[in-house]
Amino acid sequence: MLIDLHIHTSPLSPCSALDADEAIETAKGLGLDGICFVEHDAIWPKGEIKAFAQRHKFLILRGMEVNTNYGHIMVFGLEEYREDMYSFDRLLTYIQSVNGATIIAHPFRDPQYLRGGYGIMHWGLKPEDASQRPVFHLVDAVEVFNGHNSPGENGLALEVARHLGLAITGGSDAHTKEEIGAYVTLIKNKIGDEEDLIREIKLGKTEAQRLF
């Protein structure tokens, strides 16, 4: 299944100009099998996601992209955002309590996210050195292809994930309809809900690829 695992919609992500219904119809037109709304420090209510899915007859998943002291972490399995989730340790505690999943998003985006868990400027940084950063040993997967990243930033993320044997994902990080599907996650088994997604991520049954 081809799923754009990283889409932001309005109004839950104020930085996005993308309406949820518009996002779904665009993804369907591209031939995707599903999409995932991961909002900034917010999450769509389960009932609204179910209504979208029924109306469009399409797989809609949900998660959050949480701003932490280790950078941006995509999480699945939680029902709400809490202010103390800025602490990655606290966020991890919440995730573990519900057997959820975590993905480090765009880990080498330059320059605004080079702090905390990411560390120093990455130019010339070897994958084996970058892989020593604690955050890579605490998440379930690495977003190696992100539509807003440079090829170098995506490339280093992929090398680190391969070095550590971590699961990999891809997503457009879309904030407009034109960006949807730039990168996607290939899930080898058929999934039907967030629990299935979490399972496949934790089993390492995901791949990342460019759609266009």
| Three-class DSSP category at 146 | strand
Confidence of residue 73 (pLDDT cuts 50, 70, 90): very high
* Phi and psi torsions of 19, nearest 5°: -75, 140
Q: What is the mean pLDDT of the chain?
A: 93
β pairing state of 101-104 and 141-146: parallel
Distance of alpha carbon 96 from alpha carbon 83, whole angstroms: 17
pTM: 0.93
Distance of alpha carbon 92 from alpha carbon 85, whole angstroms: 8
pLDDT for residue 125? 78
- Position of tokens 């695992």? 5
Is the pLDDT confidence value at 8 over 60?
yes
**Torsion 125-129-132-137 (CA) sign:** positive
Give the amino acid at 19: D
Which structural domain, as residue segments, surrounds residue 54? 2-210
Using CA atoms in the order 132, 134, 136, 139, what is the torsion angle rounded to 10 degrees? 160
Q: What is the CATH number of the domain that holds 93?
A: 3.20.20.140
Is the pLDDT confidence value at 151 over 80?
yes
pLDDT for residue 119? 46
Q: What residues are paired with 186 via a beta bridge?
A: 2, 207
Q: Are 195 and 178 in contact (CB under 8 A)?
A: no
Domain count, the chain: 1
Which candidate, 97, 88, 171, places its Cα nearest to that of 136?
88
Interval 109-143: pLDDT, tens: 755 444 544 444 556 778 898 898 899 999 999 99
| Three-class DSSP category at 159 | helix
Distance of alpha carbon 57 from alpha carbon 165, whole angstroms: 35
